[in-house]
Structure 1
């Protein structure tokens, strides 16, 4: 059940019976951080899905290039960048290796690159262009990404749309290139506006992906992007076959194994969700044992695991997850680069989110009412604590406190509008969250009709966007 629908479902009987429900909120994609490292000893039998992406580079680097594209498709960006940089070192004339580095810096559907990342991406594209790739197909890939990175006054949405248009043309010219189709579908998902309440972009992506999934069920990009396209209430059932398959074809990729949980959670398939998250954590641990960057994926898997345990009555297991998280996050927080760029809020996000879920699901309103933002949390992440406090103060009928929570949330969203993450404050998620807080403030102030109307509006919007 989605967040606001759950809130409405619980608020309605509470108004007449006095029962005390819990509430949940949606999750945020985990971050990845490029890392400088020596060439790792790859695990024997590593499986990341099947990729055959021909390039005109030295034949000796073709297997490594295929692995790099598989890593791109699996969103294992912390391994993708060093993989392509090793190819650059091995074959300095390989233009497409620079394309691979630039692709590894553009984390589509996760977050928007900062100025330094854009500059480095453009530098890689310039190097790729200077090497004059010998085939029209390779030059088309480089030109498409140049449309995104090239300097100028274009806003981020315009850049994403330009890249998507270029990928559409590339796929039209090379319809047998399964990776072109997969990357085109991903570009359609990335181009969705934060305030878009339709599933039109997802449907457009699925128009590309459905026939590819039938023909290429082992391509990690196809399978992965089907799951993302179907990660909403309307399309979730269409993603089940891909969810069942992804962990089988790419069991070495922690994020790949985790992704099945997005569909299982949508459909309430808690045993499958739990199994997929446990397998993802094992994949993370195995990656770390081989000097690969597996740790960064663990918080997102523990996030889904905690929720699945709570939804299926495994309270002791949920408490165990909560107890593990401080040590995991402390290890991540100590890693280089965690205090800058898009990674700056990752630790704070999970420090806040998991206790919030646990306290609300366990209906511990006193604990939830005393939650505070994690130290150093960006304003849009700090806002989660005030959402949780409002839910608790609503149940406790503490009207003044709930109203103060709403005011604090509004201040933090105003602050967010002055940061590079301003788009988060204009998103459907921000609208839903504010309506939920307002509904609980109305309930605490004995305005039941207003509370239900506001929560219903939030639930209806949540039903559209997932």
Structure 2
């Protein structure tokens, strides 16, 4: 009875979580980028006329705007800084710095989810954004230095950067709506508004989390015939449609975006989000591989570039390989990331999932578990001790599954106890509750333990509970959970000769991840039986 109540409480908590985060915008640097900036090829073409005495400043401003629309905050800030250096009296380059320096130019659903997971945090780089916003306000107040439109743009970002703002994002949205009331049809403001009101979609029913999601989609659809060559439009369509019932409607934008922006890693990466969730795994792999090749080039040119976005991209590449059944390729992608070293700040953090090494570690866990490489897991070398409580818990979970599936129930129960110890350590170190995906992992682990102890019917019921909980997890790309619980649930049902139940479990997995090769192959076997 107590266990049933616990399951109910956890499922309710999962259902109430904000839905939607891919967390793939490159994180901000604590240091401002250095000058000079260069006009770069393949950035995409965007133009917003500003008040400036320098045509070159306008050129760098436009480049920064294009880079901003591809979430390349570091290079966008560099371009805006160059524009400001060329025309120190122009307010809009300062507006651009204020928009991107904090590293929070991303969909609203990502902002919501990061806040829910890690609490409201102010990045050190936010101080640069606030200083720039204040300077933009001062410059815009000088007679003749800003149009009414520019003043409204400046006022909107100044509201977001106000350190006393209770809800900075809503203050920004209010400023954008004021701008659009005065200047209907202003494309850049409409794009900015769409990004800031898209709140994602719930799981597993894929309904809008908030009215803003629907409004954002409507804005983006209305812009297609008006500005079909705008790279930011196609990028935001991908984000605005991902996780929805109509994600396939973003396919044309996936193709168009990577044609318009050929030299920014995130632009090459983003189509893979839509392709992966709509079953086009081969196309997703191409997107992620192209982005990785492009990003390796930029990383080699800038020692301060950071490894977070590359980690996210190659992690997603490994995920696509794993779901398509390409074990060796998935392992190699994970190994590339595991070869990265964490910097001192990453090493000292009590919890961390964003470094390239941390993402490579999880990619390795995902691949080994999804392919049920139990012996490789138990050997320990391919999935090394990471040294943080979150990863320790996942490693004990994987070991528990491996022992349970190789006829060693006593060892499996020992690993389950160590799993709980790691979660207690996580809570003590981070002062946060257990990650919800690890609570789901506990549900699934209990199912494997029941199987190992010979209680098949109880195990199948427990798999059902775990699958329901897993499908309610927050939407993330790649998913925070290693693979759909429907896969092991279906295999357990197959072994118990419960064909209809097996087919149901595999179908659930395929609804979550279309063309999941593991579920597809198992479905064929189930039908033959």
Fold match, TM over 0.5? Answer: yes
Provide the secondary structure at the position in 2 that maps to 1:152.
coil
1:326-349 Cα shifts (integer Å, max 9, x gaps)? 44x24xx46x98679999942343
User: Partner residue of 2:240?
Assistant: 229
User: Partner residue of 2:191?
Assistant: 182
Asked if the contact 2:258/2:271 (under 8 Å) is kept, the reply is yes
Asked if the contact 2:43/2:263 (under 8 Å) is kept, the reply is yes
User: Partner residue of 1:79?
Assistant: 75
Asked if the contact 2:337/2:357 (under 8 Å) is kept, the reply is no
Distance 2:202 2:123 in 1: 21
Asked if the contact 1:106/1:113 (under 8 Å) is kept, the reply is no
Matched, 1:124 2:132: yes
User: Partner residue of 2:312?
Assistant: 300
Provide the secondary structure at the position in 1 that maps to 2:124.
helix
Larger Cα-atom Rg: 2
Provide the secondary structure at the position in 1 that maps to 2:125.
helix
In structure 2, the CA distance between the partners of 1:85 and 1:33, relative to structure 1 (3 Å rule), is same
Asked if the contact 1:270/1:312 (under 8 Å) is kept, the reply is yes
The structural deviation recorded for 1:272 is 0.9
- Out of 88, 94, 97, which is 2:90 matched to? 94
In structure 2, the CA distance between the partners of 1:55 and 1:395, relative to structure 1 (3 Å rule), is farther
Asked if the contact 1:432/1:462 (under 8 Å) is kept, the reply is yes
Matched, 1:245 2:244: no
Kindly report the root-mean-square deviation, in angstroms, between the aligned alpha carbons of the 2 structures: 3.6
User: Partner residue of 2:3?
Assistant: none
In structure 2, the CA distance between the partners of 1:198 and 1:244, relative to structure 1 (3 Å rule), is same
In structure 2, the CA distance between the partners of 1:413 and 1:240, relative to structure 1 (3 Å rule), is farther
Provide the secondary structure at the position in 2 that maps to 1:128.
helix
Distance 2:95 2:348 in 1: 24
Distance 1:116 1:38 in 2: 20
Distance 2:61 2:201 in 1: 29
User: Partner residue of 1:439?
Assistant: 444
Provide the secondary structure at the position in 1 that maps to 2:355.
helix
1:20-51 Cα shifts (integer Å, max 9, x gaps)? xxxxxx964253343533325544xx122221
Distance 2:242 2:196 in 1: 16
Matched, 1:37 2:10: no
Per the normalisation by structure 1, the TM-score is 0.78
Asked if the contact 2:368/2:376 (under 8 Å) is kept, the reply is yes
Aligned residue-pair number? 421
The structural deviation recorded for 1:253 is 0.9
The structural deviation recorded for 1:121 is 2.2
Matched, 1:70 2:70: no
The structural deviation recorded for 1:264 is 0.6
Matched, 1:274 2:285: yes
Structure 1, unmatched stretches of 5+, are 1-25
User: Partner residue of 2:358?
Assistant: 349
In structure 2, the CA distance between the partners of 1:223 and 1:394, relative to structure 1 (3 Å rule), is farther
Larger RCO: 1 or 2 (CA < 8 Å, sep 6+)? 1
Provide the secondary structure at the position in 2 that maps to 1:255.
helix
Per the normalisation by structure 2, the TM-score is 0.69
Distance 2:392 2:149 in 1: 45
1:418-438 Cα shifts (integer Å, max 9, x gaps)? 3xxx6xx69xxx434422322
- Superposed, 1:410-421 pairs within 5 Å as 411-412=425-426, 415-416=429-430, 418=431
Structure 2, unmatched stretches of 5+, are 1-20, 115-119, 477-511, 513-529
Provide the secondary structure at the position in 1 that maps to 2:27.
coil
In structure 2, the CA distance between the partners of 1:454 and 1:169, relative to structure 1 (3 Å rule), is farther
In structure 2, the CA distance between the partners of 1:127 and 1:438, relative to structure 1 (3 Å rule), is same
Asked if the contact 2:397/2:419 (under 8 Å) is kept, the reply is yes
Asked if the contact 1:281/1:298 (under 8 Å) is kept, the reply is yes
